[in-house]
Amino acid sequence: MTAIGTSNTVAVVGTGTMGQGIAQVALVAGHRVRLYDTAPGRAGQAAGAIVGRLDRLVEKGRISAADREAAVGRLSPAAELAELADASLVIEAILEQLPAKQQLFTALEDIVAADCLLATNTSSLSVTAVAGRLRHPGRCVGLHFFNPAPLLPLVEVVSGFATDETAADTAYDTAAAWGKKPVRCADTPGFLVNRIARPFYAEALRAYEERTADPATIDAVLRDGTGFKMGPFELTDLIGQDVNEAVTHSVWNAFFQDPKFTPSLAQRRLVESGLHGRKSGRGWFDYAEGARRHAPQTAGPCPAPGSVVLHATLPGPAAVLPELIEEAGIKLTRDGTPSGPEGVIRLPGGACLALTNGRPATNRADGRYIRFDLSLDYRAATRIALAASAEASEADLAEAVGLFQALGKQVSVIDDVPGMIAARTIAMIIDFAVDAAARGVATPEDIDTAMRLGVNYPGGPLEWAERLGARWVWDLLDAMYHHNAGGRYVPSWALRRRADLEE
């Protein structure tokens, strides 16, 4: 165990929301904590704010009054950077500007002891670059906390190109000793969470730009249909559109403008308009008092079909649908006659209902198709998206809607686009995760842990790959690639290799 002992001082530079949160975590863990900010008086104000939060913890019974008094006695603001000389760990949480971070650490190197660990809380800059001006860059490591730091358990421990293994071990063990769940990560753009989570936002924005559905409907499909706690539009409104777009641009540029990370013009226009989300009172949605809340597009009631025919087996999680259909009292006939390369449910009027496979429903040689979107758990899902081919009639669509309504699902009918909403999003997240694991960015276990804890996903992307099958994911993305120019949906070689190993 190489965690920094509680008898050692921890210094935090930068006293915004994140800096205060990190300082509180170290303080409650038992360390002496010194706060420093370049703005006169800011460190003292931050110390007062932290004391106020400790008071609220006492009121809620989270800590005792005695622990509160002891913690307050260990907390002190610093008027000068030189007052951090006795720190064993300095964590910076200043502006996301590389020159500012480099200047801070080069100044600290002349002040602190040779064995003091220097940590950056950067979320999007290169740890290697932050440490690049140091005489001893091996002592610099990334300690990326998530906001609010006292509540969220995940900490990404990022090793720069020159970071010493002992420095990374000390950072990891210290975060664990503070009650956090650390994961190890190589210094790659976006680290783990901000890299692998990009498709959750990007595919929703792309679907909106393609006029697939409105923001409220896209949110509802991903939230109610797949188990995400929030939809991407409401989540970016909470984060701040300006903040989310800045991270997207940073990762895109760091990956040499790889089309997989291309930012959204629609989001750019929102930011240019000053519509930054909840903090500005309006983003994708209006948060003014009395404003009308936008509801998702939901199909009206349709009669359930009396019977359906199942041809072959539905793939992945959709394999449970026949069971749900029978439980709903709808007659299901299993027909072993092949319907083509995929399993389908044939409706009474003759139209075929099938899981999206990355191709549009329209222009199929066999005509009247209605695609349903992916869910990670069709039994638990409360909403399903449908997209009908141009050849399908209103009566065909009504039968499909009625079927899913009989299963207890709300139905959103969206435009016919490859990959629909949930399937394209989840497939891209899986591909990013598989690629990151193959490149040694982190272990598969740490990747899944990071996505569950960092962004509250309903499971780990590599767990999803096991459930869906890498071949199904690869086929869906490959189909989308052939329907979309530009390389955005080219599946990774790592995903292809994993798919080949399944066969």
In this prediction, residue 503 has a pLDDT band, given cuts at 50, 70 and 90, of confident
> Beta 140-145 vs 331-335: how paired, if at all?
unpaired
Known catalytic membership, residue 342: no
Phi and psi based region of residue 163 (left: phi greater than 0; alpha: psi -120 to 50; beta: remaining): beta
What number is the average pLDDT over the span 90-114?
96
What is the 3-state secondary structure of 51-95?
A: HHHHHHHHHCCCCCHHHHHHHHHHEEEECCHHHHCCEEEEEECCC
Question: CA–CA separation, 127 vs 486, rounded Å?
Answer: 31
Radius of gyration of the chain (CA): 26
What number is the average pLDDT over the span 188-211?
96
pLDDT tens-digit profile of 117-146?
A: 999 999 989 999 999 999 999 999 999 999
Q: Given a cut of 70, is residue 165 above it in pLDDT?
A: yes
- Give the Å distances, CA to CA, from 266 to 38, 275, 401: 37, 12, 31
In this prediction, residue 88 has a pLDDT band, given cuts at 50, 70 and 90, of very high
What number is the average pLDDT over the span 326-351?
87
Tell me the residue ranges of DSSP E strands in 85-180.
87-92, 117-120, 140-145, 154-159
- Give the Å distances, CA to CA, from 415 to 213, 267, 357: 7, 21, 15
Q: Given a cut of 70, is residue 345 above it in pLDDT?
A: yes
Spatial strand order in the sheet of 154-159: 75-78, 32-36, 9-13, 87-92, 117-120, 140-145, 154-159, 181-186
Known catalytic membership, residue 123: yes
Catalytic residue among 92, 156, 234, 399: 156
Q: What's the mean per-residue pLDDT of the chain?
A: 95
Catalytic residue among 31, 144, 276, 311: 144
Helices (H), ranges, 259-393: 265-272, 321-327
Q: Given a cut of 90, is residue 485 above it in pLDDT?
A: no
Q: Given a cut of 90, is residue 335 above it in pLDDT?
A: no
- Amino acid (1-letter code) at residue 205: L
Return the H-helix or E-strand segment holding 165. Answer: helix 165-177
Catalytic residue among 124, 159, 194, 250: 194
Choose among 2, 46, 27: nearest CA to 150.
Answer: 27
In this prediction, residue 486 has a pLDDT band, given cuts at 50, 70 and 90, of confident
Q: Which residues contact 291 (CB under 8 A, 6 or more apart)?
A: none
Tell me the residue ranges of DSSP E strands in 124-191.
140-145, 154-159, 181-186
Q: Which residues contact 8 (CB under 8 A, 6 or more apart)?
A: 31, 32, 87, 88, 89
Helices (H), ranges, 178-229: 193-196, 198-209, 215-226
Question: CA–CA separation, 318 vs 313, rounded Å?
Answer: 9
What number is the average pLDDT over the span 297-318?
95
What number is the average pLDDT over the span 147-161?
96
Known catalytic membership, residue 156: yes
Q: Given a cut of 70, is residue 392 above it in pLDDT?
A: yes
> Beta 32-36 vs 75-78: how paired, if at all?
parallel
- Amino acid (1-letter code) at residue 444: P
In this prediction, residue 1 has a pLDDT band, given cuts at 50, 70 and 90, of low
pLDDT tens-digit profile of 397-410?
A: 999 999 999 999 99
Query: Do 416 and 390 form a contact (C-beta atoms < 8 A)?
Result: yes
Q: How is residue 38 written in tokens? A: 């370049």
Distance between first and last Cα of the chain = 43
Return the H-helix or E-strand segment holding 387. Answer: strand 383-388
Q: How is residue 30 written in tokens? A: 């038992």
- Higher model confidence: residue 434 or residue 341? 434
Catalytic residue among 123, 124, 389, 412: 123
Tell me what pLDDT residue 382 has.
98
Burial 330-368 (b: 16+ CB within 10 A, else e): bebeeeeeebeebbbbbbeeebbbbbbbbbbbbeeeeeb
